[in-house]
Amino acid sequence: MEMNHFNQNWESEGPALRVKWHEKADALFPELQHKSVQADSLLELIDDPVAWQGVRAVRTEEASGLSLREWKKGDSLFLDFGEHHVGYFTFSMHLADGCCGSPAALRVLAAELPFELAYKAENFRGGLSQAWIQEEFIKIDVLPGSIRLPRRYACRYLRIDVIATPGALIFDQIEFDTVSTANYLPPAPEYLSALEKEIYTTGCRTLRDCMQTCFEDGPKRDRRLWLGDLYLEAKVNAVTYRNFRLVERCIYLLAANCSENGMLPACAFEHSGMRTRCFIPDYSLLFPALLLEHGKAFGNREIMEEFYPLAVHQANLFQDFLQEDCTLRNTGSYWFFVDHDAKLEKETSEFCIYLFALRNLAELAHLLNREDDKAEFLGNYSHWRGIVRREAMDPDTGILLSGKDRQISEASQIWGVLSGVLDAGEGRRALAEMKKLPDVIRSRNPYQLHYLLEAYCVCGQEEKAYDLIRDYWGGMIRLGADTFWEVFDPDGIAPVLYGDPCLVSACHAWSCTPCLFLQKKGSAPEIC
């Protein structure tokens, strides 16, 4: 069978395949669309305890008058570009008296959210690199003159502090050369309510700004392709921008970065010299679904054929972790993700994601006329499904439990539904019963909540999905979001991931998925 063939030959054939896949990814390198954007207003920052992260940006005047203003040492200028964008800045400046006896020195800070405009390096408490902060110190020796900053920024706001200047400084123009492979916003469907339209547009803007030369997770941080994010981006892309070549480039990039044993990486860099050591088995297990859904949406059977063995291989590799008591073995060197929540017991979700992969592989096998493979996947599926039901399901409540402490989490129920471990009726009951219990681990990031939306749809509870979209994603809009955030807890003020709120990405791919559901709201309920 081809899947065994792949196992046997990976070691010898892997290196050549990786080179070939990289070449194919390179051949699909997209052209970026540029759009020049000017600031629309000048701002001031106000501390406001009820604003998101305690800071509000208040418009003071139109930016059209910028070239009439003079700035001196110690002044700070705050600009609003009207909406979140990704791109490059060019500053054109001159001195009021025309005399340039020394350089001008500026501090530039690009910010996705108003709070970041108040960033002070000495207060940074982050667990990830401080280099992610979009802060620069620049010197301009020749005035009048123009300077284009080399780095790409993701922001809506810009702060410029004048550290030193030989005279009164005038900004003639501050141009934001914005880039995306889809530099436009598709119109929201007419049948949506005003709030839903805003959610739809915000989701599209989020995806637009993540669509660079690959699908990035967040254009501020990590600025790279992650498999879990790509799967969701590809789904939304299929009903919005329909840039299927970019999806294929990403598939090739991930494949080109497989490990020595053929496991797909959790993330990949575009430059062939940069490799990752990050492997998330539950992300690798999403590859069959990505391949299947992409192949169907784009109508490309060839890519399904090409990567079918690699998709099968991901499930085969995962078998090493599975134990008959519904626990995972030898998990040491891997990051099992499911959700950022450190308290989450992941074992039941991981088993269910494996079952989800088997179902997708069975469908892929069927589409590719490999009926023997299909039968084998389904055989495996019913074996492991039985084990999850026997070991993890509470016989009284029908809720799925996880780990040695028999933890109850939303994630276990969600993946229970999406894998088919729970049928629709059981899923409805487990999702509802779970909410009544104390100490349940709820999902608080848009990645996991996307899967809750899908689970509601599988259970025939579309209205609950739309309620959640209006509450949760609508909650970000009510707090001023114009792109959706990496993490959001409507009950907490501002959940801090990575130790410092300035590190959190406020335009994050995995948060754009309400578009998928809203796009199809007007049609038949089959969305998942």
Q: Output the smallest distance, CB 65 to ligand RAM, in A.
A: 39
Q: Which is nearer to ligand RAM, 220 or 359 (CB)?
A: 220
Per-position x/- string for 491-520, each x denoting binding to ligand RAM as judged by CB under 6 A, each - no binding = -------------------x----------
State yes or no: residue 485 binds ligand RAM (CB under 6 A).
no
Q: Which lies closer to ligand RAM via its Cβ, residue 313 or residue 508?
A: 508
What is the C-alpha separation between 28 and 246, in angstroms, rounded?
A: 7
Report, in Å, the least distance between residue 290 CB and ligand RAM.
Answer: 14
Q: For ligand RAM, which is the closer residue by CB, 6 or 498?
A: 498
Q: Which is nearer to ligand RAM, 225 or 399 (CB)?
A: 225
Residue 41 vs 213, nearer CB to ligand RAM? 213
Minimum distance, C-beta of residue 265 to ligand RAM, in the bound complex (Å): 11
Task: Round to the nearest angstrom and report the end-to-end CA distance of the chain.
Answer: 30
Closer CB to ligand RAM, 202 or 445, in the complex: 445
Helix axes 244-256, 287-298, angle to 10 degrees: 150
Our CB check for ligand RAM shows the closer of 80 and 486 to be 486
Q: Is 37 exposed, middle or buried (0-12, 13-18, 19+ CB in 10 A)?
A: middle
Give the shortest CB-353-to-ligand RAM separation in angstroms: 14
Among 80, 198, 482, 486, binds ligand RAM (CB under 6 A): 486
Residue-by-residue DSSP string for 84-114: EEEEEEEEEEEETT----S-EEEEEEEESSG
- Give me the least distance between CB of 512 and ligand RAM, in Å please: 12
Our finding on whether 484 is near ligand RAM (CB under 6 A) is: no
Report the DSSP beta bridge partners of residue 442.
Answer: none
Q: How far is the CB of 10 from ligand RAM (least distance, A)?
A: 25
Q: What angle do CA 284, 288, 292 make, to 5 degrees?
A: 145
Question: Is the N-terminal amide bond of 103 cis, ω within 30° of 0?
Answer: no
Mention every residue, 6+ apart, whose C-beta is less than 8 A from residue 55. Answer: 45, 46, 47, 48, 113, 114, 115, 117, 118
- Of residues 306 and 486, the one with the C-beta less far from ligand RAM: 486
Closest to ligand RAM by CB, 135 vs 217, is: 217
Name residue 46's amino acid: I
Q: How far is CA 39 from CA 66, 79, 174, in A?
A: 9, 6, 7
Q: CB within 8 A of 23, min separation 6: which ones?
A: none
Q: How many residues bind ligand RAM (CB under 6 A)?
A: 8
**Residue least distant from ligand RAM (Cβ):** 217
Cβ proximity to ligand RAM, 281 vs 398, nearer residue: 281
Q: How far is the CB of 487 from ligand RAM (least distance, A)?
A: 8
Site string for ligand RAM, 294-333 (x = CB under 6 A): ----------------------------------------
DSSP state of 117: G
What one-character-per-residue DSSP string does 487-518 give?
A: ---TTSS---STT-GGGS-SS-GGG-THHHHH
Q: Which is nearer to ligand RAM, 454 or 486 (CB)?
A: 486
| Residue 427 CB, nearest approach to ligand RAM (Å) | 25
Q: Does 337 bind ligand RAM (CB under 6 A)?
A: yes
Q: Please name every residue paired with 395 in a beta bridge, in sequence order, or none if there are none.
A: none
Report d(CA 342, CA 468) in Å as an integer. 23
| Backbone dihedral angles phi then psi of residue 86, each to the nearest 5 degrees | -125, 130
Binding residues for ligand RAM restricted to 219-278, rule: CB under 6 A: 222, 226, 228-229
User: Is 153 exposed, middle or buried (CB count within 10 Å of its CB: 0-12, 13-18, 19+)?
Assistant: buried
Judged by CB under 6 A, the residue of 112, 209, 217, 306 near ligand RAM is: 217
Please tell me whether residue 161 adopts helix, strand or coil conformation: strand
Cα 111 to Cα 43, 114, 139, 484: the distances in Å are 13, 7, 20, 14
Distance in Å, CB of 217 to ligand RAM, minimum: 3
Report the amino acid identity of residue 497. Answer: L
Give min distance, CB of 229 to ligand RAM, in A: 5
> Least Å distance between CB 179 and ligand RAM?
20
Tokens 């969305």, residue?
527
Is the CB of 160 or the CB of 452 nearer to ligand RAM?
A: 452
Smallest distance from ligand RAM to CB 56, Å: 26
SS3 labels along 405-462: CCEEEHHHHHHHHHHCCCCHHHHHHHHHHHHHCCCCECCCCHHHHHHHHHHHHHCCCH
Residues in the site for ligand RAM, rule: CB under 6 A? Answer: 217, 222, 226, 228-229, 337, 486, 510
